[in-house]
Structure 1
Amino acid sequence: MTEAVVSLQEIEPGIVQLTMQDRINKNTFSEELVTGLMQSFEFIQANSSYKVVILTGYDSYFASGGTKDGLLAINEGKASFSDLNLYSLALDCKIPVISAMQGHGIGGGFVMGLFADFVILSRESVYTTNFMKYGFTPGMGATYIVPKKLGFSLAEELLLNAANYRGAELEKRGIPFTVLPRAAVMDYALELARQIAEKPRLSLIILKEHLVAPLRKELSKIVEEELAMHEKTFHQAEVRERIVALFGK
């Protein structure tokens, strides 16, 4: 029997763990991974007993962003990142979400994790908003959530430079997240989830709604602006060349 690329399991009462494990595609946004995530969050939204979600990856991968085919489809005008609202699944989830980024968070994969209510990084892993490495401006709400979560100066550096940063380096730069050895990330996430799950579910839902309401309201405008930038930057011939070169032929 093949292993599902997204596994959903209630590991303790009220605590659901959502594990991305598309080993063939190294947790890029394959059709199977995207479908699995969206169906899983729909299931979570419909469940009246869950109180908190732990979103994580496998081994040394958290989430690796767009696939080669997906990026080329946008380059050719056949798709856009907003076709599926993957990036804000955690933000839109009514119960708190913990991003246990035990592995690499690349491009849209890192951005998706930042939309969670709690973020945990690993010291060994690479985190990058590498959109500009391909020559196109950032999408998936990156120009909004990265400055919101990391602060403007560091976010501007990450978004413009598109370089790779280890969790240990980001920790030294003063990011407001817990950064741990990879082997300790899930234990910490579970303990945090237990603390959250002690609270009444209704109170958790109401408080999260209040706290993230401004983000949900402002995000749609930012996404429109990112799409407008994509119209100017994504369809360049150089972008296609970079996608092909960076992914390999």
Structure 2
Amino acid sequence: MTDTTSPDLNVRHDGAVAVLEIDRPPANYFDRALISALADALEGLESDGRTRAAVLCSSGKHFCAGANFASLPDGDDRTAESRRLYAEALRLFHVRIPVIAAVQGAAIGGGLGLACAADFRVATPDSVFQANFARLGFHQGFGLSVTLPRIVGPQKALDLLSTARRVRGEEAAVIGLADRVVPAGTERDAALAWAAEIAALAPLAVRSIRATLRSDLPGAVGQALEREVTEQARLWETEDGREGVAAGLERREPRFTGR
């Protein structure tokens, strides 16, 4: 049964576990309105008296392919909109209930950032994780400067960001990017079972443990987001930045010149 529905986001309960489903298939691109709706929903759930854990998932083929660049404004307006989007994204890191992301298909760019904002990630062998920012000609965002090194370690994070290579489910599990790998089509059920396991434990203790381990995360992410959007704004104005985004939209290999 659906508890609440906002545009492109469905929220329902399975006992003490809330299921938040992004519904913009097939790629499930996000914008500021969707991230704001997600933050609103999670903030409401953490204080509703019954939700002890949450599962973040998506309908369709892919978890999330990040922001839709075709819909973003140009120049200063793009930077301003990115700052507003990141202000909403920062709210996700203040959420007090555990969140498990069920990642089917691709989690790319900002979609990877969204997956890494969760406490845990359940993937399948077919899942694809990619920090594709260098391929687009600009700086990483959505707090990945902090979350990715925390999850996989600084050296592996540098590798993934510098090469923009795709990581499939099995390798993601080896490096710690995916916490569990399950057969394709079962990732949501596996995430729900895991969340139910957490929800069966003492909720005050779970929140306290989580708060201790993540105590510095919101502040660190907030600082990183400011650096990220500043660097993104600078690199968007370069020839390589324009070429990377254009190549992505045109589905071709970029031709970078270093200008």
TM-score band w.r.t. shorter chain: 0.7 to 0.9
Pairing 1:7–2:10 present: yes
Q: Residue by residue, what CA displacement relative to the aligned partner does 1:101-134 show, whole Å, maximum 9, x if unpaired?
A: 1231010111111121112122102110111111
Q: Residue by residue, what CA displacement relative to the aligned partner does 1:27-58 show, whole Å, maximum 9, x if unpaired?
A: 01145533432332233234121100100112
| Structure 2 counterpart SS, 1:196 | helix
Equivalent residue, structure 2, for 1:222: 224
Equivalent residue, structure 2, for 1:161: 163
Mapping for residues 115-154 of structure 1, pairs under 5 Å = 115-154=117-156
Paired letter, 1:7: N
Residues 103 and 182, structure 1, Cα contact 8 Å, conserved in 2: no
Distance 2:233 2:248 in 1: 21
1:16 deviates by 0.3
Distance 1:225 1:214 in 2: 17
Gaps of 5+ in 2: 252-259
1:90 deviates by 4.0
Residues 35 and 89, structure 2, Cα contact 8 Å, conserved in 1: no
Change (3 A) 1:3 1:198: closer
Distance 1:241 1:89 in 2: 32
1:175 deviates by 4.7
Distance 1:114 1:79 in 2: 24
Distance 1:89 1:182 in 2: 31
Mapping for residues 81-120 of structure 1, pairs under 5 Å = 81-84=82-85, 85-120=87-122
Paired letter, 1:79: R
Change (3 A) 1:176 1:36: closer
Q: Residue by residue, what CA displacement relative to the aligned partner does 1:61-109 show, whole Å, maximum 9, x if unpaired?
A: 1111011235x53x51213333133444543211111111123101011
Paired letter, 1:52: A
| Structure 1 counterpart SS, 2:216 | helix
| Structure 1 counterpart SS, 2:214 | helix
| Structure 2 counterpart SS, 1:61 | coil
Equivalent residue, structure 2, for 1:16: 18
TM-score, normalised on structure 1?
Answer: 0.87
Distance 1:113 1:174 in 2: 13
Gaps of 5+ in 1: none
Equivalent residue, structure 2, for 1:242: 244
Paired letter, 1:191: A
Moved more, 89-98 or 27-36: 27-36
